[in-house]
Structure 1
Amino acid sequence: MSIELGKFNVLEVVKTVDFGVYLDGGEEGEILLPTRYVPEECNIGDFLNVFLYLDNEERLIATTLTPLVQVGEFACLEVSWVNQFGAFLNWGLMKDLFVPFREQKMKMLVGKKYVIHAHIDEDSYRIVASAKVDKYLSKELPAYQPNDEVSILIWQKTDLGFKAIVENKFSGLLYDSEIFQHLQTGMQLKAFVKQVREDGKIDLMLQKPGFEKIDDFSDKLLSYIKENGGSIQLNDKSPAEDIYDTFQVSKKTFKKAVGDLYKKRLIVIEANGIRLAKD
């Protein structure tokens, strides 16, 4: 049996002690799960799903806590402290995650958040992080089709829009002209594939084309106005972010629905919002 450092492993309880239980780590020997993480009514022979990392003495140790990132994944984490060797990130465990200076694109500052990749350092066998994200992104050609739904992590702002990490593996881009909600580094959300470019990078969009038929959203908007006393403080001049926060649609979709209801004489558009038309 082999264990995976920096990931969850299902291991058997082989010994109980005053300060926790020991788990069968195969060739790595017995691994301590401290008392604070031991489930109630835990017995020898039970199998536990635990995360494995190294303690301050560089010994294998287990926890039932879920870290903010696992080996092979990307995440946006906050710097807890810095010393002469590098920065240390809060990843939700007792021991912070180390980022050597050589793996920082710029000097990391305490209290700031950075997108990083977690991996095993081949020389020291320690779990470390790198802010040089590009070199850990896959060079494979993604097999996605247009309109496929994907999970993304917003990475950084560029002149074209926002770079994103797609499904913890690929590089993607959301274009400014197609963004209708507030975005910032570290946000995790769903997006849709617009196209996979020849260089393997993915053009993304936040809303699936044709997902919202105007007639359908017109009905939804009319019902919302009725449910809110016959008027709302939004109209076609409102900020796109406010519209998205309320209805999860783009401003373009909202404006078309408003126009549809207005033509049907179901609503009146006012300076500070929309109200139902009187019969």
Structure 2
Amino acid sequence: MSEIKVGTITTLKVERKIDTGYVLTNGKVEVLLHINEADGDLDVNQEVDVFIYQDKKGQTIATMSIPDIHLNTYGWAEVVDSVRNLGVFVDIGIQKEILVSKDDLPLLEGVWPKAGDELFVTLESDKRGRLLAKPVTEEIIEQERDRAQPSMLHQQTSGRVYRSTKVGSFIITEEGFRGFVHHTERKTEPRLGQWIEGRIIAVKDDGTINVSMRPIKTEGIEEDAEAILNYLKSNNGSVSLTDKSNPEEIRNTFNISKASFKRAIGKLLKENKVVQKNGETILQDES
């Protein structure tokens, strides 16, 4: 072997010691192991296992701090920074942070990961030898996931979002299940890499699960009613919606289904907090 490939773990021999560290070799190619990247003192001709990557100057170097994530191996990496129009940077356990390109992130930057979120990624190298972190594919998820049992229906679960779409959010749960949160089962769209909690509302024959982030119905009615009241109070006491309105108009305004809207409005009407007339829901004068 003559090539030393970035993103891989390889065994090299200490060729010589220099002021800044050690020169390692595979017999044909030399690479620097900086003294800060070495685990203690090394001897000439000693063999060491190292991870290969490019430093910020573009120089190929070695480290004895072996990350869990490398070429063709997936793992969780914490997001440390986000750069508009570029992507996010993740920490894989080496001194250099690795870019997840914007091309591999949602179009809407509002659901990009924030610092502290985690992404399930592997590493790839470009033609210039730079490492990039690539989010997990559905193919890998399908190979690696566990199967949920029917008895788990209605249980609480939690996990991280690994893919975000208009239709909904896909998660990997703590137990290793593949879960799906339909857009109607969430109040707001969670970020890619965000940790979420919910309850299992369906276990499919293939062992995947559907998850709801919405509260159970009785709690949801209270929450939706409160949201409608707050909206009315901040919008001159009225909204051009009733329980006869178009479902899409209701969702665009309150991000809830028509059925949820009707339940919440029914509660408010019963409590004499609102009235409906001329196609509007109107806040009652509390005085």
TM-score by length of 2: 0.48
TM-score by length of 1: 0.49
